[in-house]
C-alpha cells in the first residue's frame, strides 16, 4: 500500500465518521500563524479562543518559508503536528507567495482562506487588546482621506511604515498612530482591513499579548518571544521551558533527526551563488520591487562577498530588513511578482484532528476554491493551481538544504497529511 | 588613471620595445596546460623545450575551471604569474567550454590556439616519451577502419575509453592499445590528432614523465603529481618542496590572502541547490549529455542529500567521474552544449614577459581570431565572442565563491594582464 493510498483510506474514514454531537451550533474560529516555533503564547491564544466560545479552531499556517524572509525553523509537517497536539483542530497551508509577503498581502491571503473554511471568528494577539481601536484604524486605512494623506507623506521620501504612521497621526491623533508601532497590532489591523476589503464576515477576537514582546529577548511571566526561542534553539539550550511539552517533544525529535533547526548560514554561499547568477531583468521580476530597487540589488550582488555585506549594501531607511530578506529568499526560490497576484487558488490541508473535519467539509460545501487533501486532488487543479503546487514543492525541496541533514526532494507531495487522534 | 588605461599604456610600451636580437630565426613553441598548481614537472617541461631549441614558449592555460571538473586551486591570474616566473614567455586563456571538456575537445581548443599564436612546435609530457608511437596511434584514431571498429566495440555497452582501447588493440596490437592506458599519452595523442584534423603544422616534442605518475600520491625523485600537491595544499602542509620557489612564494601569498585553495566542499549546498532547481530540459541542454543521461541526472538530483550521494546515484561504468564532475560544474556555471561548439573565438592574453610579445604580434599578423589584451578589445568582438567573454566572467565570479575569502564580481575584466620583467 503506497503512502498515498494509505492516506486516502484514512481520509475517507475520517469523513465518514460522525462528529461528536455539539450542544448547539458550531462556532468555527480561525487563527493565522507561523508557529516558528509553537510556544506557550500560541497555546494561550488557542485556549482563549475556546474559552470565548469557539467550538473548532482552524489554523492557516505559513509553509516552509516565513514572513520575515527565512526558512521556517522546522518543516511545515512538524509545525502542523505541534499545532494539532497543542489544541488546533485543523491546519491549512498559506501558500508561499502570501506566506513570504509583507503584512498586507500575508493578511489578505490568510483571511481569505479562513473565510473559505467557513470560519465565523478570527482570533489573534495584539499589544493593545482593544478590538474597537483596531477596527477603527483598519477602517481609517481603507478611507480615501488616508490614501491622500499617505501620498503626501510618502513624497517626503520616508519609508512606507513611517509615512503610514504619520498619515494616521494627522488624521486620527497620536493614540491611533501609536497602534501601528507594534508588530501584532499592525498585523491585526491588516487582518481587519482584509476582512473589510473581501467583505468577509469574520468577528474579531483578540487577546492582549502578555509577557514578552514579539522581538523581546528576555522572557517575562513564563513567556518568551518566537525570536528569542529561535535563537536559543540555534544555540541548543534554554528554549524548553517556554514551549508546551507536546511541542517540545516534537522539537527534540526533529533535532535528533537533523531536521531542525533550519539555518540560513548553511546556505550563505548558495544564496551568494544565486545572486551572482541573476540578470538585472531577473531582479526586476521579483516580488516587492519598486523605484528601481533592482539596480541596487544587482549592483550589491556583484560586490558582496558575504550576506551581511549584501544587506549593508542594499539597506536604506526606505526598505525594511524583512522586505529585503523576503526579496533575497524569493530570488533563491524563483518566486516572481506574477506568482504573488490575486488570492490563494486552493486550500491545502496539512493536518487534522477528528474534530477538525468540520473545516474541509464546510470548505467543500460553501468555499469557492478546491480543498487539497491528497495528491489525486492535484489532478483537478487549474493551471495556476498547478504552478502554485510546483512552487510549493520547490520551496520544500530547497528548505531541506537549510537543515543540518538535508532530506530528498518530493516531501511536499509524498508526506501524508498529519493525523492526531482527539 | 584607471586600471584599464594604465594597462593600455604599459601594453603600448611593450609593443614599441624591440625584442632582444636573436642569433637566428625564432622557434616559437607552445604548451597546453592547467598548472593546477604549477610544479617542478612543469618547470622541467619548459626547460626541456628550451634545450630542444625553442626560443619562445607560449602557454595556453585553462582559466578558473579545469578539465577534471573542478574550480582551479588558485585564480587564473596567480597561475599565470607562476608560469611566467617559472619560464613561460606568454600565457593565453583556453576558454571555459574547451577547458572544462573531455580530452578530445580540450586538445582541439588548445592546439587551435597554439597554431593561431604562430607556434611551430608543441611540447608535452607523456608516459612513453615516444613521439613516433604517439603519432601512429593518433593517425590510427583518425582512420575509417578505427571508426568502424569503435562502433562495434561500443555496441557491446562498455564505456568509451575501454571501447577505444579494445578497437586499437584489435587494429594495431597490444603495445598501441597500452599507450591509451595512461592519461598523459592519451592527451598527447589528442594533441596530435587535433593538429592533423586542423591541418596545423606543429612539430611534436615530448619529454618522458619521470618521477611521479599523474595521479600518484607518493612523490618520486623530487617530483610530486598535481593531484598529490592539491591534497597537500588543502591540508596545508608538505607541498612546498615540490614546487619551484618562485611559484611557492605566490601560493603562500594567495593562501595568506584567503584566495587559495578553492574547495568544492565550500559550495556543496550551492551545488545541491542548483541541481534541485534544474528542470529536465535544463539537464538535457548541458554539454556531454547523451543516451538519456539527463533523466538519470535529474532523478539523482531529486534524491541526493550530499554530492557524494549524487555521484554514487549517477555513476555507471559508462560515464567517467571526470565527465560527471564536468557536467555538474557546467550545470553550476550555466554552460550549455551550444556554448561548446566549434573552436575558440578569440585569444585572450593573461600575462606576458617582454620576450613573450612575439606571440600576440604573430597572432595579430597571421592568426584568424582577435587577440584580447585589454577590455576595449571586447568592443570589436562578434556576438559569439561577447557571449564567451560573459560566460568567462560568470565563471570567474563563481570561482570566487569556492575560495576561503570570496572576492567581488568583475575580476575577469578588471584584473590587468600579468606583467613579469624578463
The model's pLDDT over A34-93, given as tens digits with 9 standing for 90+, comes to 999 999 999 999 999 999 999 999 999 999 999 999 999 999 999 999 999 999 999 999
What sign for the dihedral angle of Cα B322, B65, B418, B21? positive
Q: Do the chains contact at A302 and B272, CB–CB below 8 Å?
A: no
pLDDT digits (tens, 9 = 90+) for B166-176: 999 999 999 99
| B269 closest CB neighbour out of A269, A276, A277 | A269
**Chain A: residue whose CA lies nearest to B334:** A277
Domain at A3-127+207-261+344-420, CATH homologous superfamily: HUPs (3.40.50.620)
Q: Where are the domains of chain B?
A: 3-17+26-127+207-263+344-420, 265-340
Mean pLDDT value across residues A373-399? 93
Mean residue pLDDT of chain B comes to: 91
Q: Do the chains contact at B269 and A266, CB–CB below 8 Å?
A: yes
**Mutation to test the A interface, candidates B262, B401, B404, most A Cβ within 10 Å:** B401
Mean pLDDT value across residues B175-180? 93
Using the Cβ of A403 and the Cβ atoms of chain B, whether some distance falls under 8 Å is answered with no
Q: What's the pLDDT band for B16 if we cut at 50, 70, 90?
A: very low
- Give one word for B239, left, alpha or beta, with left for phi > 0 and alpha for psi -120 to 50: alpha
* Residue A268: per-residue pLDDT: 98
The span from the CA of A291 to the CA of A318, in Å, is 10
Q: Look at residue B12 and tell me whether its pLDDT is greater than 90.
A: no
Interface of A with B in 285-304 (CB under 8 A): 301-304
pLDDT digits (tens, 9 = 90+) for A325-370: 999 999 999 999 999 889 999 999 999 999 999 999 999 999 999 9
Q: Look at residue B210 and tell me whether its pLDDT is greater than 90.
A: no
Q: What's the pLDDT band for B157 if we cut at 50, 70, 90?
A: confident
Mean residue pLDDT of chain A comes to: 91
Angstroms from A158 CA to nearest CA on chain B: 31
Angstroms from A62 CA to nearest CA on chain B: 21
Mean pLDDT value across residues B257-262? 97
* Residue A158: per-residue pLDDT: 77
Pick the more confident residue, A1 or B306. Answer: B306
The span from the CA of A109 to the CA of A99, in Å, is 8
Contacts B408 to A, Cβ<8 Å: 302-305
**Chain B: residue whose CA lies nearest to A303:** B408
The span from the CA of A78 to the CA of A195, in Å, is 29
φ/ψ of residue A62, rounded to 5:
-60, 150
Pick the CATH number of B3-17+26-127+207-263+344-420 from 1.10.287.990, 3.40.50.2030, 3.40.50.620, 3.40.50.970: 3.40.50.620
pLDDT digits (tens, 9 = 90+) for B31-64: 999 999 999 999 999 999 999 999 999 999 999 9
Q: Do the chains contact at B401 and A302, CB–CB below 8 Å?
A: no
The span from the CA of B310 to the CA of B312, in Å, is 5
Q: Look at residue B348 and tell me whether its pLDDT is greater than 80.
A: yes
Q: Look at residue B21 and tell me whether its pLDDT is greater than 60.
A: no
Mean pLDDT value across residues A121-129? 95
pLDDT digits (tens, 9 = 90+) for A81-92: 999 999 999 999
Compute how many other C-beta atoms are within 10 angstroms of the C-beta atom of residue B157. 9
Closest CA to A106 of A116, A115, A117, A95: A95
The span from the CA of B26 to the CA of B371, in Å, is 21
Angstrom CA distances, A261 to A155, B156, B250, stand at 42, 50, 41
| B410 closest CB neighbour out of A302, A406, A410 | A302
**Chain A: residue whose CA lies nearest to B307:** A406
Angstrom CA distances, B378 to A212, B104, B109, B250, B370, stand at 60, 28, 20, 29, 9
* Residue B17: per-residue pLDDT: 47
**Chain A: residue whose CA lies nearest to B394:** A277
Using the Cβ of B332 and the Cβ atoms of chain A, whether some distance falls under 8 Å is answered with yes
Using the Cβ of A404 and the Cβ atoms of chain B, whether some distance falls under 8 Å is answered with no
Q: Do the chains contact at A274 and B276, CB–CB below 8 Å?
A: no
* Residue A186: per-residue pLDDT: 94
CA-based R_g, chain B, Å: 21
Angstrom CA distances, A362 to A15, A56, A156, B407, stand at 12, 12, 48, 56
pLDDT digits (tens, 9 = 90+) for A228-245: 999 999 999 889 999 999
Q: Do the chains contact at B303 and A332, CB–CB below 8 Å?
A: no
ipTM at complex level? 0.90
Mean pLDDT value across residues B184-207? 95
Amino acid at each position: 500500500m503506497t503512502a498515498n493510498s494509505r492516506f486516502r483510506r484514512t481520509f475517507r474514514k475520517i469523513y465518514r465518521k460522525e462528529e461528536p454531537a455539539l450542544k448547539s451550533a458550531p462556532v468555527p474560529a480561525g487563527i493565522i500563524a507561523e508557529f516558528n516555533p509553537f510556544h506557550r503564547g500560541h497555546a494561550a491564544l488557542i485556549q482563549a479562543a475556546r474559552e470565548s466560545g469557539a467550538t473548532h479552531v482552524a489554523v492557516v499556517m505559513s509553509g516552509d518559508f516565513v514572513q520575515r524572509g527565512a526558512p521556517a525553523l522546522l518543516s511545515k509537517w512538524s509545525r502542523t503536528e505541534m499545532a494539532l497536539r497543542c489544541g488546533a483542530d485543523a491546519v491549512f497551508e498559506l501558500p508561499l507567495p502570501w506566506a513570504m509577503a509583507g503584512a498586507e498581502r500575508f493578511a489578505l491571503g490568510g483571511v481569505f482562506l479562513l473565510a473559505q473554511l467557513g470560519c465565523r471568528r478570527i482570533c489573534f494577539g495584539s499589544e493593545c487588546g482593544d478590538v474597537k481601536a483596531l477596527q477603527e484604524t483598519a477602517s481609517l486605512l481603507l478611507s480615501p482621506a488616508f490614501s491622500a494623506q499617505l501620498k503626501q507623506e510618502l513624497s517626503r521620501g520616508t519609508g512606507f511604515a513611517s509615512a503610514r504612521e504619520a498619515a494616521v497621526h494627522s488624521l486620527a491623533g497620536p493614540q491611533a498612530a501609536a497602534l501601528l508601532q507594534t508588530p501584532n497590532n499592525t498585523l491585526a489591523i491588516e487582518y481587519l482591513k482584509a476582512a473589510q476589503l473581501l467583505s468577509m464576515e469574520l468577528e474579531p477576537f483578540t487577546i492582549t499579548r502578555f509577557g514578552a514582546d514579539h522581538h523581546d529577548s528576555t522572557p517575562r511571566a513564563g513567556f518568551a518571544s518566537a525570536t528569542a526561542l529561535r535563537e536559543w534553539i540555534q544555540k541548543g539550550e534554554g528554549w524548553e521551558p517556554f514551549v508546551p511539552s507536546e511541542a517540545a517533544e516534537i522539537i527534540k525529535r526533529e533535532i535528533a533527526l537533523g531536521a531542525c533547526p533550519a539555518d540560513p548560514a548553511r546556505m550563505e554561499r548558495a544564496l551568494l551563488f544565486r545572486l551572482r547568477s541573476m540578470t538585472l531583468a531577473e531582479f526586476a521580476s521579483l516580488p516587492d520591487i519598486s523605484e528601481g530597487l533592482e539596480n541596487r540589488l544587482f549592483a550589491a550582488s556583484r560586490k558582496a562577498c558575504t550576506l551581511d555585506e549584501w544587506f549593508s549594501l542594499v539597506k536604506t531607511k526606505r526598505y525594511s530588513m524583512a522586505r529585503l530578506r523576503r526579496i533575497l529568499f524569493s530570488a533563491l526560490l524563483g518566486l516572481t511578482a506574477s506568482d504573488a497576484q490575486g488570492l490563494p487558488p486552493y486550500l491545502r490541508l496539512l493536518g487534522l484532528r477528528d474534530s477538525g473535519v468540520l473545516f474541509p467539509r464546510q470548505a467543500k460545501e460553501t468555499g469557492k476554491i478546491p480543498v487539497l487533501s491528497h495528491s489525486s486532488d492535484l489532478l483537478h487543479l487549474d493551471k495556476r493551481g498547478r504552478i502554485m503546487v510546483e512552487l510549493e514543492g520547490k520551496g520544500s525541496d530547497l528548505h531541506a538544504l537549510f537543515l543540518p541533514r538535508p532530506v530528498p526532494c518530493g516531501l511536499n507531495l509524498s508526506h501524508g497529511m498529519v493525523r492526531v487522534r482527539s
